[in-house]
Amino acid sequence: MKRKMNGTKYCKKWQVGLNASSGLKTNQIMIKYISVVVFLISTWALGFSQTLPNWIFMANLGVEKDDTRRYDNREGSLIPNQAESWGTYHVEFNVGRKIFEYKRLSTFTGLGIGYEKATFSRPYNQGILIDAAGADIALSVNNYGKVQLPLSVSLFYELSDSWVLSGALVSNALLMRRIGRSGGVYSGSYGTFEWHDIQMRCGVNYRIGRWMVGFESRVINVQKIDRVIFNNFLIDPRTDQSWENYNPLRFDLTVGYTW
């Protein structure tokens, strides 16, 4: 009888020990499982909230108020009155590389290509573009294009994982002018290389993963006076001036991709 009782006690102890051991293993498995889940969640969260990656591609589509300055030709004999006021368009593509980072502040330097098209009808001086006898005459243009090379330094400050403030200092080098008119009259392209303007832009962007969609406005614009359209035909008084501070309203829709 004692042997049976001892055997029963031994079995119960072994069963209790087995249950404790299996419970311990189950707890260890659960802890490992929870640890892996927490690690994956934290890795995803950190990856989403990290600062901008090292490279960024930006595309700008902008519209600008026409430069309607007439100077002494206010009567409109050379510049007719026009109802259009927003007729200067911009397309720009830029690739930037991160050069500085501090917490949520990132600085990029970039290089790109851009195109500007002005549709405001005005006279231009062909003699500025070509060196030929009789070229210094007033012709009319309502399709004035410029191919530009933008050099930029951009700052991005991440307010949150979704909202990003941006600011950029951009300097455009002028590569080519294209003179055209409706119907193809007086059309022609003229290559050059000269500094065209220095401008400052500010914007706000919404970030979705690696993508950013934003709205940008130009706040400062210092540009070289374009003697092709501001010339002696308009009796432009700025004969001894090469640059001017002139900033007509310009707004851009921007789309960016980071990697």
pLDDT digits (tens, 9 = 90+) for 197-233: 999 999 999 999 999 999 999 999 999 998 888 876 7
Residue 188 in 3-state DSSP?
strand
- Around Cβ 17, how many Cβ atoms within 10 Å? 10
Q: What are the backbone dihedrals phi and psi of residue 242, each rounded to the nearest 5 degrees, phi first? A: -105, -30
Position 210 scores a pLDDT of 93
Asked whether the beta carbons of 258 and 52 are under 8 A apart, the reply is yes
Residue 19 falls in which region: left (phi positive, over 0), alpha (psi -120 to 50) or beta: alpha
Q: Which pLDDT score is estimated for 43?
A: 46
pLDDT of the residue at 84 = 72
- Tell me how many degrees the CA angle 238-242-248 measures, rounded to the nearest 5: 80
Contact between 138 and 233 under an 8 Å Cβ cutoff? The reply is yes
pLDDT category at 7 given cuts 50, 70, 90 is low
47-56, 103-112, 117-126, 139-148: which is most confident: 103-112
Q: Is the pLDDT of residue 70 over 90?
A: no
Task: Give the C-alpha distances (Å, rounded to integers) separating 219 from 161, 175, 179, 198, 252.
Answer: 26, 24, 28, 11, 12
Tell me the pLDDT tens digit for each residue of 30-55: 666 666 555 554 444 444 446 889 99
- Quote the Cα angle for 55-58-63, to 5°: 165
Quick one: pLDDT at residue 133?
A: 47
**Chain centroid offset of residue 128 CA:** 33
Name the CATH code of domain 52-258 (choices 3.90.1150.10, 3.30.450.30, 3.40.50.300, 2.40.160.20).
2.40.160.20
pLDDT of residue 36: 58
Q: Does 81 score more than 90 pLDDT?
A: no
Amino acid sitting at position 218: R
pLDDT digits (tens, 9 = 90+) for 147-203: 999 999 999 999 998 999 999 999 999 999 988 765 555 567 888 899 999 999 999
- Return the higher-pLDDT residue of 77 and 102: 102
Residue 98 has pLDDT above 50, yes or no: yes
* Domains of the chain, residue spans: 1-49, 52-258
pTM: 0.74
Q: What percent of the chain has pLDDT over 90?
A: 48
pLDDT at 76: 53
The pLDDT value given to residue 51: 80
3-state class (DSSP) for residue 250: strand
Q: How buried is 138 (Cβ within 10 angstroms: 0-12 exposed, 13-18 middle, 19+ buried)?
A: middle
DSSP label at residue 184: S
Give the integer Cα–Cα distance in Å for 136 and 139.
9
Please state whether beta strands 143-158 and 138-141 pair in parallel, antiparallel, or not at all (unpaired). Answer: unpaired
